[in-house]
């Protein structure tokens, strides 16, 4: 799953849509700065009055206050804002305000519609902090990439088909990103987890297809239907549509299709395989075996414990435990409001998680399963890896590999992994690529 810092940011991505500002003469950059200044002054009621009617009915000033005050727990104390930049994306104006914290710098991104209302707002890593570097194991002369849009119900999701040269009916992997509005490459700062995997597999004779998540391509629409949003909307439906699309392609009509999921994508892989006879096997990269709320609690304890847990952090952990109990009590969960639940998720979303036991679904699969785990991963840990192994290990078709030096992004490092480690440019370790390749080619 995504790191705790990113989970807090995901809340903003899914929940925050705002504003019409009363001074029409101001441009969108001015409006963004005005909003940040109000956050600095803790004028959350003023911020709330900038929300549109849809968000005002689902959000509150106190929720915004809680989010803003919790952010320094993961990025250090807020210092100031500095640079402002903007760009056009379709009908939206995107504005980036660089916010400086004690431990890092992040861009607070605002999305404005043509009426100068903010329809999205979330933190993203600064674009210019570091550039993506292609992995050494990527051999461009051995493959080609083609843009192919995934049609899934009423949604159109930009995607990329990566195909090895001169190989007829190559095996193909559908790549699934972790939680949050990830793009097709699963871009995290200067790192691109799924892109690395796609290029590495294609260099070794295995095709792949990856696509933007619905929560990225249709963020505004997802916000408007947030009360109805669940795991099927976020992952399952689009993955099944991708399988159907690939099998209709003459180039892959007789190819074996695999699901390779990372983090939340890995957690969902057994359910997808159970719903499609076209799936020949699944690969779980850092997928949680435990309930999500248990995993997130561990993340709280780990991150707060990197220095020493103070009283405010103890209080936050206690509050999270109370929300956990609501999730684990069906009658309470059904009636719960967003502010009463972990990560301000909706009742329907949490019900879709509670009603899905990934380990039990995986145990019933006929397809082989490959489980990978980085031993330095603090988001999904060796506890999860051992649970997968414990429950699936009796079946000889399944395989389990852990990697001592790898973190949640499947990249090498030393010592205890931290959120700041994700800001360092790296690539998915080549051993991951080679082990997936060997496993698929054995089938």
Q: Alpha helices, DSSP H only, in 95-181?
A: none
263 catalytic, yes or no?
yes
The residue among 94, 96, 97 whose CA lies nearest residue 119 is 94
156 catalytic, yes or no?
no
Quick check: 192 and 160 in contact, CB under 8 A?
no
- 């441009």: which residue's tokens? 27
> For 298-361, what is the HEC assignment?
HHHHHHHCCCCCCHHHHHHHHHHHHHHHHHCCHHHHHHCCHHHCHHHCCHHHHHHHHCCCHHHH
Quick check: 251 and 413 in contact, CB under 8 A?
no
Catalytic residue among 233, 352, 408, 417: 408
Distance CA 70, CA 76 (A): 10
Catalytic residue among 377, 384, 417, 429: 377
**Burial class for 435, CB neighbours closer than 10 Å (0-12, 13-18, 19+):** middle
**Burial class for 441, CB neighbours closer than 10 Å (0-12, 13-18, 19+):** exposed
> For 45-70, what is the HEC assignment?
HHHHCCCCHHHHCCCCHHHHHHHHHH
The residue among 15, 45, 123 whose CA lies nearest residue 341 is 15
All residues at 6 or more sequence positions from 36 whose CB lies less than 8 Å from its CB, including other chains: 81, 97, 99, 108
377 catalytic, yes or no?
yes
- 């056009």: which residue's tokens? 88
Which helix H or strand E contains 366, and what residues bound it? Answer: none
The tokens describing 288, both together, are 């949680």
Please list the residues that pair with 400 across neighbouring strands. Answer: 371
Catalytic residue among 60, 203, 263, 347: 263
The residue among 23, 17, 13, 76 whose CA lies nearest residue 48 is 17
Helices 61-70 and 4-15: crossing angle, nearest 10°?
A: 150
Quick check: 48 and 64 in contact, CB under 8 A?
yes
Quick check: 303 and 103 in contact, CB under 8 A?
no
3-state SS assignment for residue 161:
strand
Catalytic residue IDs: 263, 377, 408
């Amino acid at each position: 799953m995504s790191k705790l810092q990113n989970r807090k940011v995901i809340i903003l991505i899914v929940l925050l849509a705002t504003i019409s500002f009363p001074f029409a003469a101001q441009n969108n950059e001015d409006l963004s700065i005005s909003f940040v200044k109000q956050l600095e002054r803790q004028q959350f009621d003023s911020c709330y009055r900038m929300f549109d009617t849809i968000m005002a009915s689902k959000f509150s000033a106190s929720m915004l206050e809680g989010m803003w005050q919790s952010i320094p727990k993961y990025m250090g104390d807020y210092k100031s804002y500095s640079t402002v930049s903007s760009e056009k994306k379709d009908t939206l104006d995107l504005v980036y305000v660089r916010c400086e914290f004690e431990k890092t710098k992040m861009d607070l991104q605002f999305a404005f519609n043509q009426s100068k209302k903010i329809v999205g707002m979330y933190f993203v890593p600064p674009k210019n902090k570091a550039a993506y570097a292609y992995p050494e194991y990527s051999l461009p002369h051995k493959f080609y990439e083609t843009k192919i849009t995934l049609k899934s119900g009423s949604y159109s999701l930009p995607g990329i088909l990566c195909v090895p040269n001169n190989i007829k009916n190559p095996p193909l992997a559908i790549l699934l990103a972790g939680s949050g509005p990830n793009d097709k490459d699963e871009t995290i700062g200067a790192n691109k987890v799924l892109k690395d995997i796609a290029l590495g597999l294609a260099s070794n004779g295995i095709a792949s297809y990856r696509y933007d998540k619905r929560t990225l391509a249709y963020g505004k629409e997802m916000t408007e239907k947030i009360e109805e949003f669940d795991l099927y909307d976020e992952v399952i439906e689009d993955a099944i549509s991708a399988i159907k699309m690939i099998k209709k392609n003459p180039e892959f009509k007789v190819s074996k299709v695999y699901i390779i999921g990372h983090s939340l994508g890995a957690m969902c892989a057994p359910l997808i395989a159970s719903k499609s006879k076209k799936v020949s096997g699944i690969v779980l990269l850092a997928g949680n075996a435990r309930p999500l709320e248990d995993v997130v609690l561990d993340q709280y304890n780990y991150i707060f414990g990197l220095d020493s847990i103070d009283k405010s952090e103890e209080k936050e952990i206690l509050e999270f435990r109370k929300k956990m109990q609501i999730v684990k009590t069906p009658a309470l969960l059904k009636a719960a409001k967003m502010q009463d639940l972990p990560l301000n998720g909706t009742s329907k979303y949490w019900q879709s998680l509670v009603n899905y036991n990934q380990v039990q679904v995986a145990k019933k699969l006929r397809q082989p399963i490959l489980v990978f785990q980085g031993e330095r991963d603090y988001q999904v840990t060796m506890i999860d890896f051992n649970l997968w192994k414990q429950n699936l290990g009796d079946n000889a078709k399944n395989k389990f590999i852990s990697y001592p030096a790898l973190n949640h992004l499947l990249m090498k490092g030393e010592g205890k992994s931290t959120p700041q480690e994700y800001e360092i440019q790296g690539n998915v370790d080549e051993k991951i690529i080679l082990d997936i390749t060997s496993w698929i080619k054995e089938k």
